Amino acid sequence: MHKILKIVLAVLGVAGIIFLARIVAAGDEAVKASAAAGDTSLIEPMAWIAYLVLAVIVALVLIFVVVNLFSSGETLKKTLMSVGAFVLVAVIAYVLAEGVETPMQDGKMLSESGSRWVGTGLYAFYILAIVSVVVMLGTGIKKMIK
């Protein structure tokens, strides 16, 4: 797995260097002019390399998360409890939030539902910030007592 990953990353790296060299060799003005004309053939390959690298990273992260998640029952239990606690905070924040149609700066209207979701995000942030401060103070006091 490690050797295959190294080969894939080397190929992507070399391809990225080649496409970057094409862009640099063409120059800023040529790239701007071709983009203005709708021709993105210089930039597009570099974007696809970035998408491929992102896909490889996301796939590896998901694989390792799932493997480590199911490696022991205790890890899965702690993860589910944490996700449940976060969902509980989100539900509490949603209940506390109010939705009011609000005019925005660009002349559009923010719907009642959209306003409620913004309030939910703010309340969730406040709840999590208060919990984190309380936990930090609690552990600090506990260390000082010891």
pLDDT tens over the chain, length 146 residues: 789 888 988 998 999 999 999 989 988 888 888 888 888 888 899 889 999 889 988 998 999 888 888 887 788 888 889 999 999 999 999 999 998 898 998 889 999 999 999 999 999 999 999 999 999 999 999 999 98
Answer yes or no: are the C-beta atoms of 54 and 80 closer than 8 Å: no
Structure tokens at 80: 């589910």
Of 24, 19, 25, 13, residue with least CA distance to 47: 19
Burial readout 76-98 (b: 16 or more C-beta within 10 A, e: otherwise): eeeeeeeeeeeeebbeebeeebe
Burial readout 11-24 (b: 16 or more C-beta within 10 A, e: otherwise): eeeeebeebeeeee
Q: Quick check: pTM over 0.75?
A: no
Euclidean distance between CA atoms 144 and 30, whole angstroms: 65
